[in-house]
């Protein structure tokens, strides 16, 4: 991947040289990608299917901290986070564009790492990188990703489609990404106080990977097709379970009952949360960045989903007047309140 | 548009409140916009047409200077610049997404101004704002726009489609945006040295508007349909005429002859360039940001384009071995060299 020289100055390459250098190996693999990088716009062909578009902005020191996020992981995660929005519509992601603003002091090799991570994600998820923009930034690193996908009209799962009585389900497990972040933040503080001390991440691979290298749940969307399940409503868990449940309830004008003891939490997440004096349930409800899929299915699909190891039935949808409630392990009922991560209140 | 309070703190609103506030008046007008803001992804329907996607990143102090760019103009320009890429494919722009990263110290009213400008551009060009992202930025203002459009497969004009003997044409006039920028930069310096002095923009409205409020040439794309002209190749003039001509020549593997005396330059651009000691032709060749359309048509279309007041025939395409040449007013021949604005060499 690297040239012989260790550090190449971006100023020497110029914008066109840089784009060409970073994208020269890209090959289009999807039938819907008619024309990728190299013209004023990409050209896509979704035939009679609907086009899905989602976009995310990732800013240094707000969404990521380069002191502990390796650039290759960052590129990978930037793509995953955005593909997750297409899967959350029950669609198939097929293309992305990636725009990067970066200080001209950044060496080319660092940018190559970032792109390498993005391209690994594209290859793994079979999406084509079809466009983007690179620019110098006078401040921090800026990443903007737009993902594009498709679905048949009747496959699309909106947030607003939930019905009273639907089962509320979630894929995978929750809270891990947030607890992984706590470990990384702790080790950063220790490092800042004493740079001699190596980070202690021993045995915490799973939850650190949940934070640094999340996987969008394309496999769940494929499972739905395999099981002939059409989720009534779906959203991805980016801001925490509580916030996402409320989005579905509000968009669908429904209440819900969520059972605390049904929320899937990995043992490592549970134990590590406890080590930090955190309530594991709160980590799942408010932590965010898990990129699992939260969805509702009709009760008639119960037999199809109940034996799927990677899907948990965590509650059900109710009439709106019943409110949005969590039944705690002790049996008491609480209002579900969104306290998810908020880009405008986070201080960093 | 404004609430009674003069300044509202973004921290008080939170991310969801902010998006809702900024987008609450948006109504979808295009048949292809199935679902806009409010779900994980927008849903679009282009039926049997091809989908076109383009994205741009605009960064404070690189692409714009808030010391002389009003926020409403900035929002307007951010959309125009991106729509221009869809028109440059000979497509119809139909949707945009806009992501904004902004310091939480920015008052809500400033962000409203930016959105107001973007929405004026959307309304004027009949495109729907269907998505985006807002985030706090620890540094400067960040704007990322993705534009989406459509075209029939045989309408799309790639950079690579030019044929030997094609007429090389450009819409409007060139160099004005660059000369307008010189005036704004001069007045900024005067202001920085003596804030008492009011900027002297007297009589320079046209070229200042070319810089602050460019118009994407949707009308030219509509004219093509009206005239039954299909450009063989097309690109928008964002980096200067020379750079764009070379893009078409390289992508089409052709040479060209460009006639200096045919390059359309407005008298105000010409005079003001002279005042600054600049060669007006160089301003047109290398200035950029004019957002006019550069295109080639077969000679058989000569009668269709020759009497269009807003289209200039500036040269023709040749075999590759003839090179890319400009014939100067004195009759001498020069190589065309790209010296356009370069995001990685600009120092600001």
Measure the CA angle with vertex B144, ends B140 and B147; round to 5°.
160
Does any CB of chain A come closer than 8 Å to the CB of residue B246?
A: no
Domains of chain A are: 10-155 (3.30.1330.10), 159-335 (3.90.650.10)
Instruction: Tokens for B123, please give them.
Output: 């309304």
pLDDT tens for chain B, residues 1 to 348: 333 345 677 776 666 677 778 888 788 889 999 998 888 999 999 999 999 999 999 999 889 998 888 999 999 999 999 999 999 999 999 999 999 999 888 888 888 999 999 999 999 999 999 998 888 888 789 999 999 999 999 999 999 999 999 999 999 999 999 999 999 999 888 888 888 877 777 788 999 999 999 999 999 999 999 999 999 999 999 999 999 999 999 999 999 999 999 999 999 999 999 999 999 999 999 998 999 999 999 999 999 999 999 999 999 999 999 999 999 999 999 999 987 544 443 333
pLDDT reported for residue A343: 44
* Torsions phi, psi for A216 (to 5 deg): -65, 145
For strands A92-102 and A42-44, give the pairing: unpaired
Does any CB of chain B come closer than 8 Å to the CB of residue A235?
A: yes
Residue recorded with tokens 């020069």: B334
Residues 161-220 of B with CB under 8 A from A: none
Cα–Cα distances (Å) from A205 to A180, A192, A288, in that order, read 9, 22, 18
In whole angstroms, what is the distance from residue B228 CA to residue B225 CA?
Answer: 5
Instruction: Tokens for A251, please give them.
Output: 């968009």
ipTM surpasses 0.85: yes
The nearest alpha carbon in chain B to A36 belongs to: B53
Residues 6+ apart with CB under 8 A from B235: A40, B88, B159, B244, B247, B248, B293, B294, B295
| A291, A215 contact by CB (below 8 A) | yes
Helix (H) or strand (E) holding A212: helix A205-212
Interface test with chain B among A39, A128, A231, by most B beta carbons within 10 Å: A39
List the beta bridge partners of residue A52.
A149, B43
In whole angstroms, what is the distance from residue B90 CA to residue B149 CA?
Answer: 10
Chain-centroid distance of CA B91 in Å reads 15
Chain B residues lying within 8 Å of A139, measured CB to CB:
59-60, 138-140
CA neighbor of A141 nearest in space, from A177, A101, A173 = A101
Helix (H) or strand (E) holding B255: strand B255-259
* Helix (DSSP H) and strand (DSSP E) numbers for chain A: 10, 13
pLDDT reported for residue B309: 92
pLDDT reported for residue A16: 64
Buried b (16+ CB within 10 A) or exposed e, A98-122: bbbbbebebebebbbbbbbbbbebb
CA neighbor of B238 nearest in space, from B174, B167, B334, B160 = B174
pLDDT reported for residue A80: 97
Does any CB of chain B come closer than 8 Å to the CB of residue A52?
A: yes
pLDDT reported for residue B46: 93
Instruction: Tokens for B213, please give them.
Output: 């409020």
Low-confidence ranges of chain A (pLDDT < 70): 1-7, 12-16, 340-348
Does any CB of chain B come closer than 8 Å to the CB of residue A130?
A: yes
């Amino acid at each position: 991947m690297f040239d012989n020289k260790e550090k190449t100055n971006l100023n020497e390459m110029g914008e066109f040289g840089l784009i060409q250098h970073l994208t020269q190996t890209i090959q289009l693999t999807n039938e819907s990608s008619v024309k990728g990088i190299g013209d004023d716009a990409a050209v896509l062909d979704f035939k009679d299917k609907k086009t899905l578009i989602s976009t995310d902005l990732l800013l240094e020191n707000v969404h990521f901290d380069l002191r502990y996020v390796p650039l290759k992981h960052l590129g990978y995660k930037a793509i995953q986070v955005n593909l997750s929005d297409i899967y959350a519509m029950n669609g198939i992601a097929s293309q992305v564009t990636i725009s990067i603003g970066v200080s001209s002091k950044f060496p080319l090799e660092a940018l190559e790492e970032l792109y390498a991570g993005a391209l690994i994600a594209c290859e793994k998820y079979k999406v084509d990188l079809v466009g983007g923009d690179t620019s110098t930034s006078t401040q921090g690193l800026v990443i903007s990703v737009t993902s594009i996908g498709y679905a048949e009209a009747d496959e699309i799962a909106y947030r607003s489609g939930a019905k009273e009585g639907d089962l509320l389900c979630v894929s995978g497990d929750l809270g891990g990404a947030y607890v992984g972040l706590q470990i990384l933040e702790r080790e950063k503080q220790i490092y800042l106080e004493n740079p001699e001390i190596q980070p202690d991440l021993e045995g915490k691979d799973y939850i650190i990977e949940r934070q640094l290298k999340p996987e969008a749940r394309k496999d769940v969307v494929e499972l739905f097709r395999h099981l002939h399940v059409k989720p009534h409503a779906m959203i991805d868990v980016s801001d925490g379970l509580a916030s996402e449940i409320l989005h579905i309830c509000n968009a669908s004008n429904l209440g819900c009952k969520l059972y605390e003891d049904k929320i899937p939490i990995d043992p490592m997440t549970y134990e590590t949360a406890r080590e930090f004096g955190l309530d594991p349930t709160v980590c799942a409800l408010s932590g965010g960045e898990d990129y699992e899929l939260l969805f509702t299915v009709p009760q008639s699909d119960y037999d199809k989903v109940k034996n799927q190891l990677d899907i948990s039935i965590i509650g059900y949808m109710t009439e709106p007047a019943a409110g949005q409630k969590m039944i705690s392990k002790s049996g008491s009922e609480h209002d579900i309140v969104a306290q998810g991560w908020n880009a405008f209140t986070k201080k960093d």
